[in-house]
Amino acid sequence: MNRVIVEYAKLTTDILDMLVEKYPDGYDYSDVISFKNSKGETVKAIEVRTEETIYLVKISDRLEQTMEDYAEDEDSFDDTDDIDLEDIEEDED
């Protein structure tokens, strides 16, 4: 299974759909995963899964607002299904 860490700026509509479906009322402290990245920095993220991939979406102040806005008006968001994998850390199990 692939693990992909996704920055707020790299969210696709597919990932936003999964986030809004899993966390319709927003996420809380118990949903947050903390880990150290390759630079030794602590990263906080929330998780969504597909059959093939675990997405760890980094938490930012703008993430929750974007999830709320997206849930209210999906049509206003551009479809950016192409992710630049150079900017995403990926591990395989």
Phi/psi at 20 (5° precision): -65, -35
- Top mean pLDDT of 10-19, 58-67, 80-89 is at 10-19
Percent share of the chain, pLDDT over 90: 25
- Average pLDDT for residues 8-37, to the nearest whole number? 88
Per domain, the residue ranges of the chain are 2-72
What is the predicted pLDDT for the residue at 88?
A: 44
pLDDT of residue 64 exceeding 90: no
Confidence of residue 37 (pLDDT cuts 50, 70, 90): confident
| Residue 53 and residue 2 in contact, taking contact as beta carbons nearer than 8 Å | yes
Pairing state between β 2-6 and 53-58:
parallel
